[in-house]
A and B are shown apart, each in its own frame.
Chain A
């Protein structure tokens, strides 16, 4: 006697699932939808807060103030000097950070030497550096540059050192057996191996460093985004203050998304190429 089994619904393949999911649903559950949702909720929260509290400037007011600042001709000069100081500080931190990081990663002695200073550096906040540098260097470009450098360089060092220590022992031995010259080893083995760590370090430098530049400008008197923000703050005009913060934070976010992200992706083509 034959037993008839109830027809079992076969499990659906990924192709079937893909085809059966309606388009609107794919859109709504995509990554970009999540990003837009985050932006939107933040914006609504801002509007709500500004409606509830008189001392929170709303988006309209902030845009208004920004336009005013543009028409007064305050934006380009101040933004330009901040960018310059920030750029020089981060560039210095990158160069010095990679150099010290490579030494710490390659040599036991270097690590023993730099470990404690770097640890101390990591734990000193930007505000302390900004007080000190304004005291040391006064109101010029130097205080914000040095503050940016000092707040961000320990993060670059730590990241790069970790990357260098992780360079494959096998690949180093391979290079030794083939007597590959040191310069080529650094260029083709060490640097590509630490690219991810260098990128992470620079990202940290930028995200930590902008605190430094704004704070030093806040306490210094040499113009710049931080200086201008404080000017409005002291005048009790929070719209102007917020306008400058939005401008600079917006710039950092765009820089990260459209420049750093692209550069990092390009550097890791080899990884994406491997299936």
Chain B
């Protein structure tokens, strides 16, 4: 069943002013429950805007967007941002609890479970400032999983980290995802990362349209050292080469 359905979605910033700019033009796709979908595209093509519309921080200009939840109630969302976005004056554990619906012992237990999965049990009482960037991002990931979201959004969560830390976290994310089977929409500008993590890659092109919708049919767990992964990464990269020439034609943005 589709958890997220988006139909003819468009977004224009500063509508009705001379600075009006159309960022998303005509986006339609849906995301089935339990799948890991990546949105890939060059910087500035509207990926974060799309996630913010899905999460409800940003309003869309036209089109339809609908979310369903297992419970039938309002859909619960988790969001991992590009930066950790933790309350600097609250401990790691209190940051985890801050976004939870209730403060029950069961909820606290769930928070501890996810902290353990990202290897931060010992740091539960630390302030964020006492952790490294990678550890802070792990708290952000644990926080998002711990709300048991119907839909988990991630916006380039590893792009601010060094390559070695990022690789470790990608592996960790795969493990947690394999255990929880959450529905994930993962934004990245990195095709290689997208192939490693996703069941499906939606490629956005500048001007805010979908360029390609690619299914990644590879066994898990996937490791970057695996040659079949590398081969597919190269192939997808090659297919996207064509987009560059396409996006250079000035008419494409208006079309």
Q: Measuring CB to CB, which residues of chain A are less than 8 angstroms from any residue of chain B? A: 170-171, 173-178, 180, 184, 188-189, 192-193, 195, 270-271, 273-275
Query: Does A270 contact B79, Cβ atoms closer than 8 Å?
Result: no
Determine if B83 is an interface residue (Cβ-Cβ < 8 Å): yes
Query: Does B88 contact A180, Cβ atoms closer than 8 Å?
Result: no
Q: A184-B98, A273-B129 are in contact. Are A177 and B55 (CB under 8 A)?
A: yes
The binding surface of chain B is classed by DSSP as loop
Residues of chain B at interface, number, CB under 8 A: 24
- Please encode chain B, from 56 to 90, with 1 for each CB lying within 8 Å of some chain A CB and 0 for all others: 11000000000000000000011101010101111
Q: A273-B129, A274-B130 are in contact. Are A178 and B57 (CB under 8 A)?
A: no
Determine if B147 is an interface residue (Cβ-Cβ < 8 Å): yes
CA distance A8 to B118 in the complex (A): 51
Query: Does A273 contact B90, Cβ atoms closer than 8 Å?
Result: no
Q: A180-B99, A184-B98 are in contact. Are A171 and B87 (CB under 8 A)?
A: yes
B245 to chain A, nearest CB (A): 36
- Known contacts A176-B56, A193-B89, then 6 further A-B pairs from the complex at CB < 8 Å, ordered by chain A residue: A178-B78, A180-B99, A271-B129, A273-B126, A274-B88, A275-B130
With beta carbons under 8 angstroms apart, the residue of B57, B87, B98, B129 that contacts A173 is B57
Query: Does A274 contact B87, Cβ atoms closer than 8 Å?
Result: no
Determine if B211 is an interface residue (Cβ-Cβ < 8 Å): no
Closest to B90 in A: A188
In the complex, what residues of A have CB within 8 A of residue B129's CB? Answer: 270-271, 273-275
Query: Does A274 contact B85, Cβ atoms closer than 8 Å?
Result: no
Q: A177-B57, A188-B87 are in contact. Are A274 and B127 (CB under 8 A)?
A: yes
Closest to B126 in A: A273
In the complex, what residues of B have CB within 8 A of residue A270's CB? Answer: 88-90, 127, 129
Closest to A193 in B: B89
A272 to chain B, nearest CB (A): 9
B32 to chain A, nearest CB (A): 22
Closest to B98 in A: A188
Query: Does B77 contact A177, Cβ atoms closer than 8 Å?
Result: yes
CA distance A189 to B95 in the complex (A): 11
Closest to A181 in B: B101
- Please encode chain B, from 37 to 52, with 1 for each CB lying within 8 Å of some chain A CB and 0 for all others: 0000000000000001
With beta carbons under 8 angstroms apart, the residue of A174, A184, A193 that contacts B85 is A174
In the complex, what residues of A have CB within 8 A of residue B130's CB? Answer: 273-275
Between A and B, 13 residue pairs with Cβ closer than 8 Å are A170-B85, A173-B52, A174-B85, A176-B56, A177-B55, A177-B77, A177-B79, A180-B98, A180-B99, A192-B90, A270-B88, A271-B129, A273-B130
B104 to chain A, nearest CB (A): 15
In the complex, what residues of B have CB within 8 A of residue A178's CB? Answer: 77-79, 98-99, 147
With beta carbons under 8 angstroms apart, the residue of A176, A274, A275 that contacts B57 is A176
CA distance A192 to B55 in the complex (A): 26
In the complex, what residues of A have CB within 8 A of residue B147's CB? Answer: 178
In the complex, what residues of B have CB within 8 A of residue A271's CB? Answer: 88-89, 129
A80 to chain B, nearest CB (A): 37
In the complex, what residues of A have CB within 8 A of residue B85's CB? Answer: 170-171, 173-174
Closest to B144 in A: A178
A259 to chain B, nearest CB (A): 21
